[in-house]
Structure 1
């Protein structure tokens, strides 16, 4: 008989997956690379803006990276299901590390070439798209099923901490070390990831057969989703939350006109920081995740809570109330992220996990970009605050409708706590 975890573990972050050495190595590398990747996320737009003086070029860089991310995440997911995932991680991590050296050289030598920088961004996003499905799909092979929610909470928590700490460190380092060294620091962080992946066990397909992936494998992944309502609803819930309820495109306008008496720059920084801070707090208090088996219900409740919190944010007339609602949205997003990830890794067979993670990568990356367009289009017509409130209300309504349309999702239960 398994004894119940202590009260502290039921509330705080469940660290039981760290008992497993392979997972612990992968997780430790994530701590370093989460910060390093944010160095590059800050360095690229700053370098582009310094070279052009135009925010439009910064936006172009985001779009340049989207197409290769979509294509190679889908293809990479198919590859991750047909080869040894450890070898795939070694190859893609090595490629990204080498690419960061090129980023560093073009910046340090002051090439001043926008086409070169855009090309490097496209290659980086392609390699990232291939790396993430293999990395995420490997977690279910490294921990027992009952510890998977805890493992995903650990992953999400350190990633969120990196999103907060990375930009802050980058901002402090640029005046001291210079922008180009941020790329070099990211390359060094990736070397830590390479060491961790090198020490992982082999992760070939469970049937022992490795082969080349082809376009048919990619389409097979979509067919698999279409015939499994559980997976389809999980993806649909995420799309609803991000497309209708991610208001980040309106943060600058709301910071400028929505909170009288507060400096625009200070308000803007708080708005951008609030969601990841809420996610981090949610992750640190995720011990209860391991005791919950109604994973489908948790996704529905979390996405609805995200929508309700966004409504509260849109209706807020003070910056601090806005931050509280955005932080609550971030905590809800963490819950949704963990249980959606658990469903994707447990409801799908191992031979399909890479493809499911590839589609997940596309949804996570593409949804907020679509949201930027939708919110930016609606705000001039009905106002920023109203756009946010309507979007959040749509999230709640559509999520409830989705749950009622597929009641089996509400009753879906994951593996019992290990």
Structure 2
């Protein structure tokens, strides 16, 4: 195993600092390393594996499609993209969808759509459009996206940056309204800040956000790449507050842990600003991606994974709170998206991830102090009880 790690570190750019484990097999909520040791996956590839590793229906859909045709480019129609987008629009209620591959590509697509809508529909002058974002956000790694990050490491050395973004405090509706100007075209926001440490906004905040953006004719864009498709206990996190965005960004679990698939959804009015040649993707909406995404959505719906996430997320969070560990500053959760913030006096979260690795649990730290737990949504109470026992042991050392 060390030979594999050494080889990887020798030839790979050092843009990640993985835990010292080499995974070779996955099944459901479990993965195995090269030596055959079994681990409970409590990260699920940052929510890309909501349906569990190698879900048989998703794998079969991929195999069947690979026997037929995998990519055509958007120069031609294929027989799978329409079915995929029809299902996606049906379950979300939006008029149109634009398929891409990665989450960052989908975020970039939403920015382009909002800017062009602002110019062509709202009447904002060319090159004057402003998009409001939130402090502590994470929307991806492109130059435009890091341009509005408040995390200094994400930006250092990568300038010059893309203008046109204003950042306000997450959870403060008044600051949002004060930041809106005649040039504001959109608010881009995560319903729960995942990479930021599983930060859940105050009750009622999102309803105020919706009211403010509607009143000022500002598009509300929800980045649900990580929070969507059942992760927080609803199919999409905005459902918790009974509101609806103008634009929705989805990804990660859309590919069922098999293939990168993302999409942006909105109304005919917003999506109508795109004309042939304005925007595109060679791989976006390809037959293999479409077949996999269709199967991935159906698994989430048919197996009621949103409902399981709600029930088992509450159970998991309650079991963790019962530990009453003096190491823990706060436990934050929504569905099966859970963060345990470690007190600074007890060291960083990284060392606890390494100790949990030894105990057979895979998780990852975020923002130095927070342990993030986002297991596959198929996890059951028995696995949760086992994990809580291990977490309690590690925190009591």
Q: TM-score, normalised by structure 2?
A: 0.24
Task: Pick the structure with more helix per residue.
Answer: 1
Q: Higher relative contact order at CA 8 Å, sep ≥6: structure 1 or structure 2?
A: 1
Task: Pick the structure with more strand per residue.
Answer: 2
